[in-house]
Amino acid sequence: MTLKLDNITLTYPDGDHTLTALDHVDLNVERGEFAAVVGPSGSGKSSLLAVAGTLLRPQSGSVVLGGVDVTDLSDGQRTLVRANKIGFVFQGVNLLGALTATDQLLASVHLSGGRPRARRHDAIALLTSLGLGARLDRRPHQLSGGERQRVGIARALINDPDILLVDEPTSALDHERGTQIVDLLAELTHDRGVATVMVTHDVSQLDRVDTIHEMSDGSVMIPASLVPSGRM
Amino acid sequence: MPVHLGRGNGSLFNGTTQQHDAFPVLVNRSVDSSANRMILMTHQPVDVFLMVVIHDGHKAINHRFFNHKGVEMFVGLRDLWFARGRFALMTTVVALVALLVVMLSGLTAGLAADNVSAIEHLEATHIVFQDSGDGPSYDQSRLRTHDIEQWTQLPGVTAATPLGISRATMTAGDSSIPVVLFAAETGTFLAPSQLGTDGTVVIPSALADRHQLSTNDRLTISDSTFAVSIVPSGHSFSHSPVVWMDLHDWQQITGNDGSATVFALQADSGIDGQPIKGSVVKPLNDTFSAIGSFPAENGSLQMIRGFLLVISALVIGAFFTVWTIQRRHDVAVLKAMGASTRYLLADALGQALIVLTASALIGGITGFMIGELVSGSVPFVSDVATTVYPLLIMVAIGLLGAALAIRSITKVDPLTALGGSK
Averaged pLDDT score across all residues of chain B = 81
- Contact yes or no for A22/A46 (Cβ under 8 A): no
Res B56 pLDDT > 70: no
**pLDDT of B361-417, one tens digit each?**
999 999 999 998 988 788 898 889 899 999 999 999 999 999 999 988 988 989 888
Q: What angle do CA A92, A98, A99 make, to 5 degrees?
A: 80
Question: E strand or H helix at B364, and its extent?
Answer: helix B341-374
Q: Is the pLDDT of residue B287 over 70?
A: yes
Let me know if residue A104 belongs to a domain.
Answer: no
Task: Calculate mean pLDDT across residues B183-201.
Answer: 89
Residue A158 confidence (pLDDT) above 70? yes
Residues on chain A touching B415 (C-beta within 8 angstroms): 50, 55-56
Confirm whether A112 is domain-assigned: no
Residue A69 with chain B: CB contacts under 8 Å: 1-4
CA distance A166 to A37: 10
pLDDT at B370: 92
Q: What is the model's pLDDT at position B133?
A: 81
Q: What is the pLDDT of residue B79?
A: 92
Q: What is the pLDDT of residue B145?
A: 92
Is A135 domain-assigned?
no
Domain count of chain A?
A: 1
Listed in sequence order, the DSSP H helices in chain A are 45-52, 75-85, 101-111, 120-129, 145-157, 175-192
> pLDDT grade, residue B316 (50/70/90)?
confident
Contact B179, B170 (CB under 8 A): yes
- Cβ separation of B74 and A108 shorter than 8 Å? no
**Is the ipTM beyond the 0.95 threshold?**
no
Residue B13's pLDDT is 32
Q: Which residues contact B14 (CB under 8 A, 6 or more apart)?
A: none
Taking CA–CA distances from A161, the nearest residue in chain B reads B22
Provide the pLDDT for residue A13.
Answer: 84
**Pairs from B154-160 (Cβ < 8 Å, separation ≥ 24):** B154/B267, B154/B271, B154/B275, B154/B276, B156/B267, B156/B268, B156/B270, B156/B271, B157/B265, B157/B266, B157/B267, B157/B271, B158/B266, B158/B267, B158/B268, B159/B188, B159/B189, B159/B265, B159/B266, B160/B128, B160/B263, B160/B264, B160/B265, B160/B266
Domain contains A80: yes
Give the nearest chain B residue to A96 (CA atoms).
B330
| CA gap B251, B137 in Å, rounded | 19
Query: B47: which chain A residues are within 8 Å (Cβ-Cβ)?
Result: 112-115
Instruction: Name the nearest CA neighbour of B252 among B223, B285, B219.
Output: B223
Tell me which DSSP letter residue A210 carries. Answer: S
| Contact call for residues A26 and A6 (beta carbons, < 8 A) | yes
Residue B168 has pLDDT above 50, yes or no: yes
Comparing CB atoms, the residue among A53, A108, A115 nearest residue B47 is A115
- For residues A110-120, give the mean pLDDT: 91
Q: Please, which pLDDT band fits residue B196 given cuts at 50, 70 and 90?
A: confident
Residue of B nearest to A2 (CA): B21
Mutation target for A interface from B5, B25, B46: give the one with most A CBs within 10 A.
B46
User: Is residue A87 over pLDDT 70?
Assistant: yes
Q: How far is B78 from chain A (nearest CA, A)?
A: 6
Residues A48-64: tens digit of each pLDDT? 999 999 999 999 999 99
Residue A173 belongs to what domain range?
Answer: 3-96+146-226
Rounded CA-CA distance A231/A228 in Å is 6
Q: Is residue A37 part of a domain?
A: yes
User: Which has the minimum average pLDDT: B20-34, B100-114, B122-136?
Assistant: B20-34
pLDDT for res B195: 87
- Within a domain: A175: yes
Comparing CA positions, the residue from A60, A9, A38, A33 lying closest to residue A163 is: A33
Q: Following CA atoms A45, A46, A51, A54 in sequence, which dihedral angle do they give, to the nearest 10 degrees?
A: 150
Q: Check pLDDT > 50 for residue B26.
A: no
> pLDDT tens digit string along A18-44?
888 899 999 999 999 999 999 888 888
The minimum CA-CA distance between A20 and chain B, rounded to whole Å, is 17
Which one of B23, B25, B333, B337 makes the best mutation probe of the A interface by having the most chain A beta carbons within 10 Å?
A: B337
Q: Which of B65, B329, B347 is most worth mutating to test chain A (most A CB atoms within 10 A of its CB)?
A: B65
Whether A211 is covered by a domain: the verdict is yes
Confidence of residue B66 (pLDDT cuts 50, 70, 90): very low
Residues of B in contact with A94 (CB under 8 A): 329, 333, 417, 420-422
- Does any domain span residue A113? no
Determine the pLDDT at residue B14.
32
A227: helix, strand or coil: coil
- Average pLDDT across chain A, whole number: 89
pLDDT at B419: 62
pLDDT for res A186: 94
pLDDT at B30: 45
Q: List, as own/partner pairs, every contact residues B212-220 make where C-beta atoms lie below 8 angstroms and the sequence separation is at least 24, other chains included.
A: B212/B173, B213/B172, B217/B172, B219/B170, B219/B171, B219/B172, B220/B170, B220/B171, B220/B172
CB < 8 Å to B422, chain A: 92-95, 97
CA gap B283, B273 in Å, rounded: 10
pLDDT bracket for residue B5 (50, 70, 90): very low
Give the mean pLDDT of A132-139.
95
| Cβ density class A21-41: b for 16+ within 10 Å, e for less | bbbebebbbebebbbbbbbee
Residue B1 has pLDDT above 60, yes or no: no
CA A62/CA B21 separation, integer angstroms: 19
Q: Do B334 and A119 touch (CB under 8 A)?
A: no
pLDDT digits (tens, 9 = 90+) for B295-308: 888 888 889 888 88
Return d(Cα A204, Cα A200) in angstroms, integer.
10
CATH number reported for the structural domain that contains residue A203 in this entry: 3.40.50.300
The strand pair at A195-200 and A163-167 is best described as: parallel
Percent of chain B with pLDDT over 90: 44
